[in-house]
Structure formats: C-alpha cells, structure tokens
Amino acid sequence: MITSSANPTVKRIRALRQRKERDNTGLCFVEGVRQVAEAVQSGADVVQLVVAPALLTSPFARELVAGQAAAGMPVVELAPAVFASISQKDGPQGLAAVVRQRWLTLSQARLEAPPGWLALVEPADPGNLGTIMRSADATGAAGVILIGPSADPYDPVALRASMGAAFAVGLARCTWEAFAQWKRSTGSFLLGTADSAPTDFQATRYPQPLVLLMGSERQGLSPEQQALCDRVVSIPMRGRADSLNLAVATGVMLYELLRQQRGV
Amino acid sequence: MITSSANPTVKRIRALRQRKERDNTGLCFVEGVRQVAEAVQSGADVVQLVVAPALLTSPFARELVAGQAAAGMPVVELAPAVFASISQKDGPQGLAAVVRQRWLTLSQARLEAPPGWLALVEPADPGNLGTIMRSADATGAAGVILIGPSADPYDPVALRASMGAAFAVGLARCTWEAFAQWKRSTGSFLLGTADSAPTDFQATRYPQPLVLLMGSERQGLSPEQQALCDRVVSIPMRGRADSLNLAVATGVMLYELLRQQRGV
C-alpha cells in the first residue's frame, strides 16, 4: 500500500496527464469503474491496475479487480489521499489503470468492410476526437487515421468522450504526405467534405468501403487536400451558421454511409 | 475608464459566470470578437458592450464598437487588468458584451415549417447543448425546447459551442407536464428516439413539421416519455458502443429529416 504522493510509481502515473509523457512512454491513464471495465472488455493492453481499496465500494469493481489480479495483472494499491492526488475526478471511485497505447501502421489499415476508414486532418479538440471515435465504432468503421499534428486520442478527455471506443477502433497516425502516398498505392476511394462542394452528400452514391476524409475544425480541407479526393461533397446548411461541429458533421456523414450500405 | 476590479459594474458582470446570477438577472456574458459580432448580427438584445481599448487591436472589432456606440449602445471601458479579471479566455481580445436572454413561451412555439422544433429532456452538458443549437440552426429547426432541469443555453460554454446559434434559434423551457399538455393541445407529431425501438430511423417517413424529442445523455427517454410520442425510432449501432453522443445523435436525426424534406 503506497501512502506517499511522492512515491516514484505514483509520480510516473501522475505524469501521464501530460501528453509528452504519454508520447514518450506509449502509455495512458484510464480512470473510473466504467472506463476501466470498458478497457478490459475491449481487450486493451492493460499494464497495471491502480486501486484505492478504501474508495472502491462497488462490488462489480471489486470483482473486476480480484479477477484481473487472479489472472496475473499487476495491481498497485494506494491510500485514498494518494489516489486523489492522481485522480482527475471530483469523486474518485478508487479504480484506474495504466494502459498501453495501440497504434497501427498505415500498411495495416486495410479497406476490408464498409464503411471503411475515417481520416481526420489535424483534429485539435480531444473531446471532439473522442466523440468521433465513438461514432466510428457505432457505425462499424475500421478506425481513425490521424493526419498531421492532432489531439491525442489517449488524452483523458478523449478517452472519456469515446466511451471505450478508443480501445475498440483501430488508430493510425501519419503525415499528410504519407497519407497521400498510402491512398495512391492502395487505390482507396477517398471521400472529402467541403462547404463549397456542389455535390450534396445525400444525393450521390458511394462505393464502399472507402476512406472518409474530414478537415480540421477551423479550416476544413485545403484545396490541396480536396484535390487528392475522388469526390468532395457538402452538407447543406439552412440557417445562419456556415458549419457544423466536426463530430456532428462526421457522425452525419457516417450515418449516410450506413444508410446506403443497408439500402434503406 | 474603470481601473478597479472591485468596481460594482465589473463585479456584476463577473457574477454572470454563475448560473444563479444569470437566472436572476435574465442576462448573459458573451466574450470575444467573433462571438460578440455574431450576437450583434443575429439581432441579440445587447445591453452593453464591455471594451478594453488597450487590448482591442482588431480593426474589425474597433469599427464594430464605434458603430454600435454611434447608434446609442452603452459601452463600458475597462483597463486591461480589469478586463482580464472578467475574462474567461487565455488571451483576452478586449471585447465582450452583456446580452439579455430571450425566452419564448410554449404558446409562441408554433409548428410552421419543416423540420419543426427540437425538444430535449434534461440535457446536462452545456457544450452538447451549444453544439445541438448549432445543428438546429443549420438544419432550419425553429428552436429548442428544454424540458425539466437542464444545462443553461446561456452558459459561456454553450454559447461558444453554439457559434452564434444560441441567438438565432428560438428557446423555450418548461416542465415535462407542461410539454405534454402543449403537445396534446397543439396536436403536434412527436418523434422520439430510443435504443430499443424496433423502427429504424432511416426506414420510415416522417410528417413534417414535427417535434423531435431527445432524451438525456445518461438515461434516454423513459417509458412514460416514449408513451407520449407518436413514433419512436432507433439509430442502429454496429460496434461495441451502445449509444452515440447526444449532440451526434441529434444531428444525425435532424439531417435525416432534412433528407426526407428535400426528397433526395
């Protein structure tokens, strides 16, 4: 039982709040009974459970920890005040986990089933990114390719918004140049969206599987990025707003792909 | 020029961060050049502009302030440090506004054009609520009815996420009982969504205008709430996730209504 917040193990876990530490170690920090259970159930590569037995009142959570410990999972026990020092919640539930990040290479990103892959250019908001992973999972997308400097899908905010989907969908990251090369060499159909595109997204048929490319929150797709696409479509806007939230726009596109797939 | 953060006017403006103060005064606080411009352009009831001339470097913003002042708008000038004390931004731009909230009564919420109204049961997250107002505006919905204890659409987080739509769409609030009575007396078609509903949302035709009813983030629609609906549909899920983010689900529903409206 660790009773000091200055313990080296505790300091290493706390440091996972910082992106730099996550990038350097390839680890992330998952907190809360529901989120840890989702990670375990999704087959995430859990390195270590972090438990404050005095806070862990849920019988479900106690059984989860006991079962994992019996199967050989390392469990670190913390005093309640030490757990609170690593917690990012108002009411810590006494359960967290250190999980290894999982990244696919682009060559592992295969277009095998509809709708295919989702590719995001420099998404900046981790909450949006988490919500998008959740929608990708819900619509059966293989995963998300992050192009250029992007929010971290293993950011605690992204993990929370993904509701476990971060551990269920594939994740890859690359430069724009590598993405363009992958698109050309695989011959994948690339579908982009832009406000200015004359083609209405609901009035055209898509060959699936495909790669759905969404621009960044602030700038959308640049002319160069649109030029790589096999088709660029727009989502009509009726009000005074000239754009949708990125996660909403992505969800709307994914469900149009699902509708066409199902022929309804 | 106000130079003290303890000035009564400054204290009143700062207090608008708190929901209680917003509820009591019927005012809200809008910050940033883009957001203030959107409020003015949407015809929001701006009570007062709040300006830190030393921070206000944008020529566009300076012209906006000069134009409004010339038209008789009250302008409060603050020293930079005082402006920073009311700012909720990292890099304050020196422009904010106090705006009067605008609420419609249920009897003013009329079903005149498709798609109609959106009604949300106890939405808890102001960011989600702002994103939903943005989607409602984009799809031509008349506005949003908030049922029961809800996040505040005039919360700074909601205003920011709405991208100006909070001042462009209609807003009403009521109890569940009042909503049910309104639905019955107006004979409005009420469309609900629930995971368990056998009808697929993309495989049924909707009479528009209608009222789209979305449940809360955590609980969805209760059996009682579903019983009031003329139809309840589900959004199919293909992955391990059993639900979508509320703002995504609402956006997906609104764009299906738009698709049917346009016959594409």
pLDDT on residue A209: 97
Domain boundary among A100, A132, A157: A100
Interface test with A, best of B206, B244, B260 (most A CBs within 10 A): B244
Q: Identify whether residues B157 and B210 lie together within a single domain.
A: yes
Taking contacts as CB-CB distances below 8 angstroms, the residues of chain A near B170 are: none
Q: Identify whether residues A164 and A182 lie together within a single domain.
A: yes
Q: Identify whether residues A229 and A174 lie together within a single domain.
A: yes
pLDDT on residue A248: 98
Q: Identify whether residues A121 and A175 lie together within a single domain.
A: yes
Per-residue pLDDT of chain B (264 residues; tens, 9 = 90+): 999 999 999 999 999 999 999 999 999 999 999 999 999 998 999 999 999 999 999 999 999 999 999 999 999 999 999 999 999 988 899 999 999 999 999 999 999 999 999 999 999 999 999 999 999 999 999 999 999 999 999 999 999 999 999 999 999 999 999 999 999 999 999 999 999 999 999 999 999 999 999 999 999 999 999 999 999 999 999 988 778 999 999 999 999 999 999 988
> Which residue among B127, B168, B240 places its CB closest to the CB of A164?
B240
pLDDT on residue A106: 96
DSSP A214: E
Distance of alpha carbon A249 from alpha carbon A235, whole angstroms? 8
Q: How confident is the model at residue A242 (pLDDT cuts 50, 70, 90)?
A: confident
Taking contacts as CB-CB distances below 8 angstroms, the residues of chain B near A255 are: 202, 235, 252, 255-256
pLDDT on residue B18: 96
- Cβ B251–A256 below 8 Å, yes or no? no
pLDDT on residue B31: 96
Q: Identify whether residues A223 and A137 lie together within a single domain.
A: yes
This model of the complex carries an ipTM of: 0.95
| First-last CA distance in chain A | 57
Q: What's A186's domain CATH number?
A: 3.40.1280.10
> How many domains, in total, are found in chain A?
2
Taking contacts as CB-CB distances below 8 angstroms, the residues of chain B near A236 are: 258, 262
Q: Do the strands B45-51 and B75-77 form a parallel or antiparallel pair, or are they unpaired?
A: parallel
A2 falls within a domain: no
Q: Identify whether residues A132 and A68 lie together within a single domain.
A: no
Q: How confident is the model at residue A170 (pLDDT cuts 50, 70, 90)?
A: very high
The answer, yes or no, to whether residue A241 has pLDDT greater than 80, is: no
Q: What's B80's domain CATH number?
A: 3.30.1330.30
Domain range for A57 is 8-100
B2 falls within a domain: no
- Cβ A165–B240 below 8 Å, yes or no? yes
pLDDT on residue A101: 98
For residue A32, give Cα distances in angstroms to A52, A97, B34, B253: 11, 9, 37, 31
Distance from CA of A124 to the nearest CA of B (A): 14
Distance of alpha carbon B22 from alpha carbon B215, whole angstroms? 25
What confidence tens digit (pLDDT) does each residue in A113-135 have?
999 999 999 999 999 999 999 99
Distance of alpha carbon A192 from alpha carbon A214, whole angstroms? 6
- Cβ B240–A202 below 8 Å, yes or no? no
Q: Identify whether residues B78 and B42 lie together within a single domain.
A: yes
What would the DSSP string read from start to end of A17-34?
Answer: TSHHHHHHHTEEEEESHH
DSSP B241: -
Domain boundary among B71, B100, B129: B100
Structure tokens at B179: 């909503």
A1 falls within a domain: no
- Cβ B42–A240 below 8 Å, yes or no? yes
pTM of the model: 0.95
Q: Identify whether residues A258 and A129 lie together within a single domain.
A: yes
Q: Identify whether residues B111 and B19 lie together within a single domain.
A: no
A72 falls within a domain: yes
